[in-house]
Structure formats: structure tokens, C-alpha cells
Structure 1
């Protein structure tokens, strides 16, 4: 074979391999971006559902206000949609952390409907949800190859 032909074949192979590498890199970036977006949406949804539950917990359960707050919380699918997205795109440790967060929030939601909480009782009752959220954030940061960042959801709890 001539030297020109070998150079041409080498060039074609180089371009082909380079393009395959680009496609692989783009796919990896797309998956990482999907995970990041899902994790962020779930963190944002946590704050929304947590505030809904807090409103329910601090309201007398025998009032229209309480019934309306419960109905609003049940109809809002922001949490469910964000959670399903993590279940679909997340790694096993992040899915486990998100599922724990869902279980803890569900328990808190039902507890909040049962009685009126004092501020002190609420501060105690909300602790497992904060721990689950912090665990989710930790698992997500690890999955995304971000350095560990100590977070405290409720850094100040009034007495």
C-alpha cells in the first residue's frame, strides 16, 4: 500500500474513533445532567411538601383550614413527579435515600393530620425528615462526584 493510502486510512480511523469517543462523552454528560436535574427537583419538592406538612401540623385538624391544606397537599403532585424521576434516573444509593425520604415524609404527613403540634413538638417531629433530606443530599453529591458538604437543614431550632 502506498503511504498516502495508509495516511488516509489512518485519518479516517482517527476521525471515526474520535467521533465514537465524542458520542460516548455526550451520552455520559447527558446522563449526568439528567441525574443532576432530577436530584435538584426532588430537593426543591422536599421544601415545598415539608412546608405543606408544617402548615397542616400547626393547624387544628377539625377546621376547614386544615381540610383545605390536606387536600392541597394531596393534589399537588410535585413531590410524586420528582420522586418518580429520581427512581427512573438515579443511582441505587440515591434512589434508596430518596425512598427513605418519601417514607419519613409520609409518616410525618399522617402524624400532622392527627393533632395540633406545638412548636416544640413540631421541632422534634420534623427531625427524621431533616436527617433523611441530609442523607439524600449527601448521596446525590457523592453520585455526582461533588465533594462532601456538611449541611444542616434546620441549623437553628427555637426552644
Structure 2
């Protein structure tokens, strides 16, 4: 009787082991997907906040320094800066070192743009040249994110204009004044 039960017991143990191993593997895969989804959401959040804060910096840069409008625009930049900092901290918590480094550089570039916008008033073309500094930082950040997510390389280029053409237009405009 025992030899007849042996194959049945062995089959039952194999089935139980298969279920346990399968459940373990499924949980492990689900945790990996969840972590990836959190990182992707954090990256999307950074990109959205980048464009929001860039627009507020643009608004600040087109106001006369020390005016009421400038003060209001400065307040908007500072309020948006708090959201930006939260988005940056989230990426720092969940991302790789390369992405964190590129985001740190982007953050530095945005901060520099704010400081320059506080000091002077820009024309539209001057602002388009000025924002290139930060846009290059976002391009590098997006490229680092694509590498981390193992996505194929895509040349990311936000600028649709030639800086030389804009600088030429600025010089022409200043010469007409």
C-alpha cells in the first residue's frame, strides 16, 4: 500500500511546491512593477512641474524688477518651487544615481534661471535664449531616465529654434531702438 501512495504524495508535494514558487515569483514580479511604476510617475511629475515652473519664471522675467507685478510673479515662482522640490525629493528617493545627478543639474539650472530673472527684464526672444540653459538640463534628465528604464535611445530636443538666429533677432531689435 505504501508504494502506491508514494507517487500520489510526491505529486501533491510537487504541486504545493509549484504553487509556493509561483506565488513567490508573482509577488516578486509585482513588487518590481510597482517600483517601476512609482519611478515613472515621479519622472512624469518632475516633467510636468518643470514646465509649470518654467512658465512662472518666464512670467517673472518679463516683469519690471522691483514692481508689484514682479513681486506677485516672484511669489508664484516660490510657491511652485515648493512643489518642484517635492518632486525632486521623490525622484531622489526612488531613482538611480545617474538620474539623481542629472536631476540635480537640472535643479541647479532652474535655480540659476530664477536668479537671473529676478535681476532683469527679458524680451520674448531673450527669454527663449535664456531658457535654453534649463532645457538642456531637462533633455539630459530625460535621456538618463530612458537609460534607467531600459528604453531605446531617442534624441530629446526641446528647442525648436537656433540660438544664433534668436541672438541675431535680439541684436537687430536693439539696433532699431
Same fold, TM-score > 0.5, yes or no = yes
- Number of aligned residue pairs: 159
Could you tell me which residue of structure 2 aligns to residue 43 of structure 1? 47
Are 2:19 and 1:54 aligned?
no
| Deviation larger for 30-39 or 113-122 | 113-122
Instruction: Say which is worse superposed, 98-107 or 71-80, in terms of deviation.
Output: 71-80
Q: Tell me how far 1:56 sits from its aligned partner.
A: 0.9
Aligned partner of 2:101 among 96, 102, 105: 96
Structure 1 distance, partners of 2:124, 2:9, is 80
Alignment of 1:140-151 (within 5 A): 140-151=145-156
Find the aligned partners of 1:97 and 1:104 in 2 and give their Cα distance: 11
- Supply the distance in 2 between the matched residues of 1:18 and 1:119 (Cα, whole angstroms): 59
Is the radius of gyration larger for structure 1 or structure 2?
A: 2
**Greater RCO between the two (CA within 8 Å, min separation 6)?**
1
Report the Cα distance in structure 1 between the residues aligned to 2:52 and 2:79, rounded to whole angstroms.
Answer: 13
Structure 2 length normalisation: TM-score?
0.85
Question: Matches of 2:136 and 2:120 in 1, distance apart?
Answer: 23
Gaps of 5+ in 2: 170-177
Residue segments in structure 1 that go unaligned for 5+ positions in a row: none
The residue number in structure 1 matching 2:157 is 152
* Residue 122 of structure 1, CA deviation: 2.2
SS of match in other structure, 2:65: coil
Distance in 2 (CA, whole Å) between partners of 1:119 and 1:37 is: 32
Aligned partners of 1:78, 1:147: CA distance in 2, in Å? Answer: 30
Q: Which residue pairs with 2:31 in the alignment?
A: 27
Q: For the residues of structure 2 that align with 1:137 and 1:56, how far apart are their CA atoms? A: 26
Structure 1 match to 2:78: 74
Structure 1 residue runs of 4+, over 3 Å off?
A: none
Distance in 1 between the 2:33 and 2:111 partners?
33
Supply the distance in 1 between the matched residues of 2:62 and 2:155 (Cα, whole angstroms). 29
CA RMSD of aligned residues (A): 1.4
